[in-house]
Amino acid sequence: MTVADNSVTQLRRGVLEHCVLALLAGEPRYGYDLVTELSEAGLIASEGTLYPLLSRLRKEQLVETTWQESSGGPPRRYYSLSPRGESAVAGFRPAWTDFKRSVDDILERRTR
């Protein structure tokens, strides 16, 4: 792993949970759907590892899940934000903005 790869991995880990919560802010979504979107965004290395993360979010009561029948397909587990999850997302947005601005400032300063 190059140094750049490793730092991206660290960033990913810290931010992933909140990205998952943010994706749920609009409407309930099912596991496969979430996994595909995050995978295409390059935010997860192996898709399967998202499920233990979702399980942890449920144990921490940030999300709620229900299984629902889907027409002509297997049942799907839908995830939705709990009130705690909503306030977690609300808190994350300004924190991320500040963080991003600080990192950008430092990177720009160094390259001038």
Partner 1 sequence: MMTENRHPLVSDYLARLRTEAIRLDAHDASELLADIEAHLAEATPAGTPEADVRNALDRLGSPSELVDAALGGDQRPHTQPPATPAGSGWAEAGAVLGLVGAEVLAIAWPLAIPLWLLGLVCLVVSKRWDAGLKMQGFFAVGLGMPIAWFLVVSAGYASTVCTSQATSGGGESATTCTSSLPQGSGYAVSALIIGFLIFQLITLRKMARAARG
What is the contact surface with partner 1 in residues (CB under 8 A)?
31-32, 35, 39, 45-49, 51-56, 59, 73-77
Smallest separation (angstroms) from partner 1 to the CB of 79: 11
Residue with tokens 């808190």: 91
Smallest separation (angstroms) from partner 1 to the CB of 51: 4
Burial class (CB in 10 A: 0-12, 13-18, 19+), 20: buried
Backbone angles phi, psi at 65, to 5 degrees: -130, 150
Backbone angles phi, psi at 30, to 5 degrees: -95, 160
Q: Of 51 and 99, which has the nearer Cβ to partner 1?
A: 51
Q: Of 24 and 54, which has the nearer Cβ to partner 1?
A: 54
